[in-house]
Amino acid sequence: MEGTKRDANILITGTPGTGKTTLSELVASSTGLRHINVTDLVKEKSLHEGKDEEFDSYILDEDKVCDELEDTMTSGGNVVDFHTCDFFPERWFDLVVVLRADNSILYPRLVSRSYKDNKIQENMECEIMQVVLDEARESYKQEIVVELTNNTVEEMESNASRIQQWLASWRSNQQQQ
**Would the CA dihedral through 37, 40, 46, 50 be positive or negative?**
positive
Residue 17 marked ligand-binding: yes
Q: Among 15, 1, 9, 17, which residue's Cα sits nearest to residue 130? A: 15
- Long-range (24+ apart) CB contacts under 8 A made by 114-117 are 115/16, 115/56, 116/55, 116/56
Phi, psi of 65 (to 5 degrees): -60, -50
User: Rounded distance, CA 121 to CA 115, Å?
Assistant: 10
Residue 19 marked ligand-binding: yes
Residue 31 marked ligand-binding: no
Residue 72 marked ligand-binding: no
Residue 13 marked ligand-binding: no
User: Rounded distance, CA 127 to CA 110, Å?
Assistant: 12
Residue 20 marked ligand-binding: yes
List binding-site positions for ATP. Answer: 17, 19-22, 113
List binding-site positions. Answer: 17, 19-22, 113
